[in-house]
Copies of this chain bind each other. A is one copy, B any other.
Amino acid sequence: MTSKITRQAYASEDSLLRIFTAPEDSTSTLSIIEQKLSQDLAGFLGNSIAALEKPLSEIETDFNAYQIPTDPKFVSDYADEIMQNLVAHSVHTAAPSFIGHMTSALPYFVLPLSKIMVGLNQNLVKIETSKAFTPLERQVLGMMHHLVYQQSNDFYDQWMHSANHSLGAFCSGGTVANITALWIARNRLLQPSGEFKGITREGMTKALRFYGYDDLAILVSDRGHYSLGKTADLLGIGRDNIISIPTDEHHKVDVAAMRATAAKLAQQNIKVMAIVGVAGTTETGNVDPLTELAALACELNCHFHVDAAWGGASLLSNKYRHLLKGIELADSVTIDAHKQMYVPMGAGMVLFKDPELAKAIVHHAEYILRVGSKDLGSQTLEGSRPGMAMLVHACLQIIGRDGYEILINNSLEKARYFATIIEQHKDFELVTAPELCLLTYRYVPSSVQAILTTAISNQDTELVATINELLDGLTQFIQKHQREQGKSFVSRTRIKPAKYLRQQTTVFRVVLANPLTSHQILHDVLTEQVEIAVLDREYLPQLLAL
């Protein structure tokens, strides 16, 4: 009865206002859940997330209502519901054995700090709704800029807080960062000149006509991230004008091939608008020869962007920073703090070598972003944005260079360790060795390895194809079952490794960013995969019968 009365009362104004004024009682369901999470995040996630995977179709039945409910619901009832329907069937991305994607464990302090961030509810688009968050975000961009470009004291004094300049743009993620960089590249290439008001004002067709180009192109390795295709689509360049350049046996772009392609494009009057170097490919984790790419961009007089969304964090290691050599020559660099920098989801950044760069996309309005204001929104793709920069700021300060040095080095060295035990195991093949902390491999029974090696050295493409097809099926089988068992997770992808005659090959993909992933876990992942492999009744028997 009490419940009923409260429910009725709830729909009155006064009781409704209580959700804005009266905090959750410390003995309430939601408060108790929050306390558990605060006291032991790993325990909370481990206990709350169901170990066994529930099929998506079943989960969907809990999310079938399409009408916004009429009656308000008690916070405690809602909390109970989502613990059962949502949290239990979310993904334990922080688990040390979840080594398939770039999402890692988070440091504890980001939880209370996130809550402060949400409570403050600043909107970074303009100073009037963000005040000190504006210089904080500029400082974070300045620190990341310095990490990449290492300019002088004077440089940062002059530009970090300058109203009409930007050392970078904070974004929701790497995709928006890449779009921003190439948007700038396009607008600078097709800038105003004489009568022509620039692509910004007049659009692509008039811009190409004015500059006398038949088309634009962007050159990137065939391992470039899919966001680049999206960017070309969005910017009116067209996906076909993202020219895929082949990679060498180490999955690094073939610069000679890129140069030759550029020459061919020039003959067709197609202007190369930008070269994109990848510093940590999504699928194999390799870094393009950035110094050579910078030189080529110079030759072609085009923008040089580096997509280091994932790999950029490796710059925080003095020991391994050299792996990204040449990144400081890029006109713009994408880095996601929510990947290897241990910041929660939603913290992408693009950095600009030249603080004038963002002028190519500057915009104003009457009520905010007035000319000369320091409102961050005048030079970003997004409008209203939360104060996520605060969490990056916190990680940079609390972990510090010394802390990141340890974290990054450990990740890279753990990947090397995993590569070693894969190579030592008779039934596994390392497909791509870790350059940073990402590697790919597959399960290949040793008897099959022998046949495959012979087939490859005989250039018997047909037999290699037959074996690869069966192995692809087996890899998929193992990956799916391992995920469903819920103990550990590796992802899978398809690549064309030189060592398998460039045939399409399905592989396990592992990212070793979580500081809590132990050597034992890596051994266990392999053991589990062997155990799952023998359960396969479709591909394994055929492979063993070869």
Contacts and interface: CB of A to CB of B under 8 A. Distances in A.
A114 interface: yes
A86 B364 contact: no
A538 interface: no
A233 B199 CA distance: 7
A221 to B, nearest CB: 14
Interface in A88-127: 88-91, 93-94, 100-101, 103, 105-116, 118-123, 127
Nearest to A516: B20
Contacts of A44: 119
Nearest to A153: B66
Contacts of A462: none
Contact of A121 (B241, B344, B365, B383): B344
Contacts of A325: none
A358 to B, nearest CB: 13
Given A120-B45, A203-B215, A68 B396 contact: yes
Contacts of A286: none
B116 A37 contact: yes
Given A72-B400, A367-B282, A400-B72, A120 B90 contact: yes
A19 interface: yes
A156 to B, nearest CB: 4
B176 A382 contact: yes
A529 B172 CA distance: 38
Contacts of A206: 215, 238
Interface string A359-398: 0010111111100001000000111111100100110111
A496 to B, nearest CB: 10
A524 interface: no
Contact of A233 (B94, B361, B410, B516): B361
Contacts of A62: 132, 135
A338 interface: yes
A352 to B, nearest CB: 15
A520 to B, nearest CB: 15
A346 interface: yes
28 contacts: A20-B515, A24-B109, A30-B109, A33-B112, A37-B115, A64-B161, A65-B143, A68-B401, A71-B400, A72-B400, A73-B397, A78-B398, A82-B390, A85-B132, A91-B122, A111-B119, A123-B345, A172-B382, A175-B384, A183-B234, A199-B233, A201-B240, A205-B208, A226-B364, A227-B383, A236-B236, A283-B367, A368-B491
Interface in A234-258: 234-241
Contact of A367 (B123, B383, B492): B492
A216 interface: yes
Contacts of A109: 19, 24, 30, 75, 78
Contacts of A145: 66
A434 to B, nearest CB: 16
Contacts of A187: 233
